[in-house]
Amino acid sequence: MKLVLFACLAAVAFAAPQGDQKPIVEIIKDERSDSGDGNFNYAFEADNGISMSVSGTPGAEGQSNMEGVYSFILPDGTTAEVRFTADERGYLPVSDLLPTSHPLPAHAIEQIRFAEEQRAAGVTFE
């Protein structure tokens, strides 16, 4: 029994932080405010370039509506930024990082224009 107790105490001692070890990532800014009525703000920044700032309000359907921005450093050293809203429509990010659809080819645009002309002229197909 004493051996098991000694082994447990040794494991705890070895698992404890040793000396003045610095955390891998240090938080250099951490600001938060909550008014208690569903409105809130927070912002943080880490020493590795990650940052986030968000403000929120109560939504009409019981959700929290939020607007914010977060950024981080890409492997090439540039900063990536994503702005977003989150509300009853869901999460809507905006960033140059996100893929976009390809533009329609000219022949497709012409077909759409022609179909709209036919629809406006009352042409129907059955």
Q: Rounded to whole angstroms, how far apart are CA atoms 97 and 91?
A: 16
**Contact predicate 116/126, CB 8 Å:** no
pLDDT at 55: 96
57 vs 13: which has the higher pLDDT: 57
Helix (H, G, I), strand (E, B) or coil at 64: strand
Alpha carbon distance 118, 30 (integer Å): 60
Reply yes or no on whether the pLDDT at 74 is more than 60. Answer: yes
**Hey, what are 75's tokens?**
């492997």
Question: Who wins on pLDDT, 126 or 83?
Answer: 83
Burial zone of 18 (CB within 10 Å; 0-12 exposed, 13-18 middle, 19+ buried): exposed
Q: What is the pLDDT of residues 78-111, one digit of tens each?
A: 999 999 999 988 999 999 888 888 888 999 999 9
Region 30-40 average pLDDT:
92
Give residue 54's pLDDT. Answer: 96
State the burial class of residue 55 (Cβ atoms within 10 Å of its Cβ: 0-12, 13-18, 19+).
middle
| More reliable by pLDDT, 3 or 29 | 29
45 three-class SS: strand
pLDDT band at residue 60, thresholds of 50, 70 and 90? confident
Question: Average pLDDT of the chain?
Answer: 87
Q: Would you say residue 12 has pLDDT above 80? A: no
